[in-house]
Amino acid sequence: MDRKIRVLVAKPGLDGHDRGARVVAAALKDAGMEVIYTGLHQTPEMIVEAAIQEDVDVVALSILSGSHMSHFPKVRELLDAAGATDMLITGGGIIPAEDMKVLSEQGIGKLFGPGTDTREVVEYIRGEVSSRNS
Amino acid sequence: MNRQALPQLLEAAFGGNRRALARLISLVENDAPERSAILDAVIPKTGGAWRVGVTGPPGAGKSSLLEEIVMAYRERGKTVGLAAVDPTSPFTGGAFLRDRIRMARAGADPEVFIRSLGSRGSLGGLSAQTEAVLDLFDAAGKDMVFVETLGVGQAELDVAECGYTTVVVLVPESGDGIQAMKAGLMEIGDIFLVNKCDHDGAALLEMELRAALELGSNADSWKPPVIQTSAIEGRGIAEAVEAIEAHRTHLAQNGQLPHLRRRLLERRLRRGVETRVTHALWTDPERAAKLEETLDKLLSGGVGFEESLRALLPEGLDGEES
Ligand SMILES: Nc1nc2c(ncn2[C@@H]2O[C@H](COP(=O)(O)OP(=O)(O)O)[C@@H](O)[C@H]2O)c(=O)[nH]1
Ligand SMILES: [Mg+2]
């Protein structure tokens, strides 16, 4: 067996900065994961279609535009509808603590604020994926 | 991960369920225990798809062109499977798979199935893994199956040649013509696309390629066309699709297709046997111990090289009467 953790990194919404997403993508790659990067301006439908086709373990969304309260739950809903209830959704952006709490109750994983040490993200993903697969 | 039984998973994938198809690809790619059962079930269902390998240097515009070509096939009502291979880092085992960035429309079309693959250190060889993925697309009923791979190194060229039609993508800048000749791309291409023709130098590269193809022309009656394209401006796309269709018709009419299929299968079988034999050879603990022993003797000057080599060969190949 030659299993690898596969992560879809996507940027939904309208803002045009993907530096953060690229930094995380590079860190995950350096940690031995396969990162599928889909680029900017992705709709939730596009993200979910890609996640299904790529059979990823994790969907990581970078949202700076303030649209996190609509995008995260929408992606969760569409993934669940496609039968991918076990796919972890995580991500980052400027997200207030109370929003994080609400999202976590809706089946969204841990979300990371700006300036997070990427090693923290790597550890979190490794831990989650290994507990889901066992 | 909910583990569906394999027969149900296969049935679902053959019936068009995309998640099932995606799961099967993972099982094959991960060299899971189910791999052989999957391949055995899949092969009898193949043969319906036309397979196209697309190769060329990094950044030439392969993904951008494929987005256009795939959408042109969608307009003709064809369904598509596409495997995009990118290198796995030999140091970390990780990979940054970015081909989807250029395929926003194709990626969002449910009748197009795109799968990004890391080259990994695949046990069965890169082309064995990729061919299996192409088989899965084929068995799942896709009309057109594409594979994008970098035109660097033998393993990648082998992947490009998994297709019935091989498309080589080059760009005017950075002496691509010379690179192509050195890398062996001239020999494998059935169709040459000079992409980024919105830049200077496309006409010159086209001439260079035509001259090189003229020199290398062989008994094969197919003359590889050279077509200028611009993925950005959508130029030359219709011509590229026509060339693929013309090559397909050519192979069908000349009765070459059964030949080609046989040759591809032969190569696949040979490679499969070779990788398994090699693997079996060096995972045999007895031989591994003998290797160390032989090295000691060789270094101390006790034996010659040929003798050492024969000592390590499997029985029957060592030149001894059995
Ligand atoms: N000017 C120009 N740029 C192009 C063209 N095709 C692709 N590109 C750009 O070339 C870069 C690499 O393209 P990509 O499709 O990823 O190349 P690949 O590595 O061969 O798959 C991207 O920035 C594209 O936007 C073209 O026809 N003209
Ligand atoms: Mg590409």
Residue B304 within any structural domain of the chain:
no
> How many residue contacts between A and B have a Cβ separation below 8 Å?
98
For B192-220, the pLDDT digits (tens) are 999 999 999 999 999 999 988 887 666 66
Residue B317 within any structural domain of the chain:
no
The nearest alpha carbon in chain B to A11 belongs to B101
| pLDDT at position B2 over 50 | no
B149 lines ligand 1 (CB under 6 A): no
From residue B125, alpha-carbon distances to B99, B131, B165 in Å are 22, 10, 21
| pLDDT at position B1 over 90 | no
* Same-domain check for residues B37 and B143: no
Give the predicted TM-score (pTM) of the model: 0.92
* Same-domain check for residues B69 and B152: yes
B52 lines ligand 1 (CB under 6 A): no
Residue A134 within any structural domain of the chain:
no
* Interface contact B32, partner A, CB < 8 A: yes
> Which of A33, A45, A50 is the closest to B94 by Cβ?
A33
Residue B297 within any structural domain of the chain:
no
Residue the block writes with tokens 């032969």: B266
- Can you give the residue range of the structural domain that contains A24? 6-129
* Chain A residues whose beta carbon lies within 8 Å of the beta carbon of residue B22: 52-55
B282 class by beta-carbon count within 10 Å (0-12 exposed, 13-18 middle, 19+ buried): exposed
Q: How many structural domains compose chain B?
A: 2
For the question of an ipTM over 0.85, the answer is yes
* Same-domain check for residues B69 and B169: yes
From A81's Cα to the closest Cα of chain B, the distance in A is: 12
* Same-domain check for residues B71 and B187: yes
* Same-domain check for residues B85 and B226: yes
* Same-domain check for residues B96 and B147: yes
Residues with CB under 5 A from ligand 2 (ion): B 62-63, 99
The nearest alpha carbon in chain B to A27 belongs to B94
- Can you give the residue range of the structural domain that contains B35? 1-44
Residue A59 within any structural domain of the chain:
yes
Please indicate whether residue A111 or residue B321 has the higher confidence score (pLDDT): A111
From B117's Cα to the closest Cα of chain A, the distance in A is: 9
Residue B301 within any structural domain of the chain:
no
Average pLDDT, chain B: 90
At B177, list the tokens: 């013509």
* Same-domain check for residues B94 and B238: yes
* Same-domain check for residues B100 and B32: no
Residue B127 within any structural domain of the chain:
yes
| pLDDT at position A19 over 90 | no
Residue B61 within any structural domain of the chain:
yes
What's A55's domain CATH number? 3.40.50.280
